Chains A and B, each alone.
Chain A
Amino acid sequence: MKKRKIPVKKKRAQKKSEPYYVSLQDPKDVYKCFLECTHGYLTSLKQFEKVKKLSIQKKELSSEFIKLVTQIASAVNTLNKKLPKHKISTKKFEKTIAQPKPVVQKVNTSRAMSELEKLEHELAEIESKLGNL
């Protein structure tokens, strides 16, 4: 049988990686600390799962809430249509209504209204109406 020669480099590496012993002042404490760290990390992971679950629940409830608010808004719109319309013929009302008009026209010509812009526009209209009452 042929004897395999260990390469010189490997021999050197073996020499370099000689075990090195370190005495610890309180090994029991170190081990306890290590175990506590591991325990802490595992608890963190467990907490992460909890937070993830809560976050998912919150998202679901939020989308449900948005749906409900949209339903309320459409119901208010329907109610507005059902109620009789009467003109408010005060000068103050006409003046304040005339002011936001140019802004709306600008938005319409430049680009399509986003959902937020639509809501802002509706809010501005209602606020001006409320201001005139």
Chain B
Amino acid sequence: MEKMPVFIKIDEYKDVLTLVQDLQSKSQEAKALLQKIVDLKNSEDTELESWRMGLEDIEAKIQTLTNALQDPKQ
């Protein structure tokens, strides 16, 4: 396709410029928000992982308790 010049009316041009600036600021805002969501997700993942490890620890302790109660000293 040939590159053709495009002419825009001045009043429209001002509107377009404002819109583009608005878009730019909004996309930056969205980027920051997304980063916040990613951070939250990461901390949620960390919490879940430590939760899982804690439960594994409890499981092992319950096993120890069960062993102690099931095989008492005769």
Contacts and interface: CB of A to CB of B under 8 A. Distances in A.
Interface string B39-60: 0110110011011001101100
Interface residues of B, number: 40
Given A25-B73, A50-B47, A51-B48, A58 B41 contact: yes
Contacts of A48: 51
Interface in B17-74: 19-20, 22-23, 26-27, 29-30, 33-34, 36-37, 40-41, 43-44, 47-48, 50-51, 54-55, 57-58, 61-62, 64-65, 68-69, 72-73
B68 A47 contact: no
B40 A57 contact: yes
Given A68-B29, A72-B30, A78 B44 contact: no
A109 B3 CA distance: 39
A68 B30 contact: yes
Please report whether the interface of chain B is mostly helix, strand, loop or mixed according to DSSP: helix
Question: At the interface, is chain A mostly helix, strand, loop or mixed?
Answer: helix
Interface residues of A, number: 43
B1 interface: yes
Interface of A: 22-26, 29-30, 33-34, 36-37, 40-41, 43-44, 47-48, 50-51, 54-55, 57-58, 61-62, 64-65, 68-69, 71-72, 75-76, 78-79, 82-84, 86, 88, 90, 132-133
